Amino acid sequence: MRINRRNFINLSSLGIAGFTLQGFVNKESMQVQKPIVIATWDAGLNANKGAWEVLSKGGTALDAVEKGVMVTEDEISCCVGLGANPDRDGHVTLDASIMDHEFNCGSVAFLEKIKHPISVARKVMEKTPHVMLVGEGAQQFAISQGFNLESGKLSESADKTYQQWLKKSEYKPVINVERQNSKNANSQLEDKYKAPTRFSNGDWNHDTIGMVALDANGNLSGSCTTSGAGFKLRGRVGDSPIIGAGLYVDNEVGAVVATGQGEDVIRVAGASAVVEHMRQGKTPQEACRLVVEKIRRIKKEKAADIQVCFIALNKNGEHGSYALHNGFNYAVHTNEGNKLIESPFSV
């Protein structure tokens, strides 16, 4: 954090001596300035730019996290949105969730042929008494709200990867493990089950954008959108649309979003668990670390074959992350610019 004059005055008015606080929050990863937005993976850099257009004009964190991840949903080369990898039957099925500073939340799962699932999730939150809609019902709702039904045709790169996968058509999806950085990755799986870690177009096998933001008014919101796991069983739903697992926001404490093997995020109510550690006074990074380590303990030797990562932002604008394995990064946008940060990791 850099203490500028304005920050110093704000802190002083809280009765906190500037030098004391500076001593406390002088790590690079900690900032008290707002607005701020953080997003998963390198795709987060572009997504942050979309969010920043809202935040820099004094817009709400809720609008920012919707607009931000829409950028990624539009990027056909990326693994989010309709350009993403299909399930094992060749259909792209999408999950998304959004949550604001007042515990309002909405999500969609197993949604097909709709370009911006995050915006449908927001409509679920704002226009229905429900939190979650899935499958055909979610699609019908989207159409009723004016969303176009798209063709369902695979993007060129997804089709190429799918054709390649069809040759064997047989493995369990393993999300996000970079084999060259983690020599144990995939080690427990027979060859035929091993997932490709890099696609022919050079993209990593990560399929999610998660974003959390703090706006100029000091309110937090979060969003998450994904195609889940490439070549998953038809009907599989991950953590991303599950409030409390893939995403959680408590405006008194902080906001957290997850990426990686959704099944293992769900079983520990991941994002909510990270928020609760922050409530107990842990820094965002330490809170993320505690939940990642819990997953590692639960998975035992199978932890070698999965990746799980959390990013967290607290009420003071301090941010942090933690991943099970090497290779995870996240993008941070503040008044000082937009940059990618390599995440600390467990093994």
Other C-beta atoms lying within 10 Å of the C-beta of residue 299: 17
Check residue 206 for interaction with ligand SD4 (CB under 6 A): yes
Segment lying near ligand SD4 (by CB under 6 A), choices 57-65, 259-267, 276-284, 298-306: 259-267
As measured in angstroms, the least distance from the Cβ of 232 to ligand SD4 is 8
Separation of alpha carbons 16 and 49, rounded Å: 33
Separation of alpha carbons 227 and 232, rounded Å: 10
List, in sequence order, every residue forming a beta bridge with 225; answer none if it has no partner. Answer: 96, 209
Contact status, residue 320 vs residue 283, Cβ threshold 8 Å: yes
Segment lying near ligand SD4 (by CB under 6 A), choices 4-12, 22-30, 188-196, 202-210: 202-210
- Type of residue found at 69: V
Mask 215-234, x = binds ligand SD4 (CB under 6 A)? -----------x-xx-----
DSSP 184-248: TTTTTS-GGGPPPSB-TTS-BS--EEEEEEE-TTS-EEEEEEE--STTPPTT---STTSBTTTEE
Segment lying near ligand SD4 (by CB under 6 A), choices 42-50, 143-151, 213-221, 254-262: 254-262
Q: Figure out which of the listed residues 155, 186, 219, 259 binds ligand SD4, where binding follows CB under 6 A.
A: 259
Check residue 305 for interaction with ligand SD4 (CB under 6 A): no
As measured in angstroms, the least distance from the Cβ of 171 to ligand SD4 is 16
Any alpha helices (H) in the chain, and if so which ranges?
5-13, 18-24, 43-55, 61-74, 117-127, 135-144, 156-166, 262-266, 270-279, 284-299
- SS3 of 259, please? strand
Check residue 37 for interaction with ligand SD4 (CB under 6 A): no
Check residue 240 for interaction with ligand SD4 (CB under 6 A): yes
- SS3 of 73, please? helix
Check residue 262 for interaction with ligand SD4 (CB under 6 A): yes
Other C-beta atoms lying within 10 Å of the C-beta of residue 321: 29
């990027």: which residue's tokens?
75
Segment lying near ligand SD4 (by CB under 6 A), choices 153-161, 188-196, 235-243, 292-300: 235-243
Check residue 260 for interaction with ligand SD4 (CB under 6 A): yes
Please identify which of the residues 197, 208, 226, 259 carries the catalytic annotation. 208
Whichever of 241 and 284 has its CB closer to ligand SD4, that residue is: 241
Check residue 161 for interaction with ligand SD4 (CB under 6 A): no
Q: Figure out which of the listed residues 238, 244, 270, 284 binds ligand SD4, where binding follows CB under 6 A.
A: 238
Segment lying near ligand SD4 (by CB under 6 A), choices 8-16, 256-264, 286-294, 311-319: 256-264
Contact status, residue 228 vs residue 95, Cβ threshold 8 Å: yes
Check residue 269 for interaction with ligand SD4 (CB under 6 A): no
No. of H helices and E strands in the chain? 10, 12
Check residue 176 for interaction with ligand SD4 (CB under 6 A): yes
Active site residue 208: yes
Whichever of 278 and 323 has its CB closer to ligand SD4, that residue is: 323
Q: How many chain residues are in contact with ligand SD4, going by CB under 6 A?
A: 15
The site for ligand SD4 (CB under 6 A) is made up of: 175-176, 206-208, 226, 228-229, 238-240, 259-262
List active site positions: 208
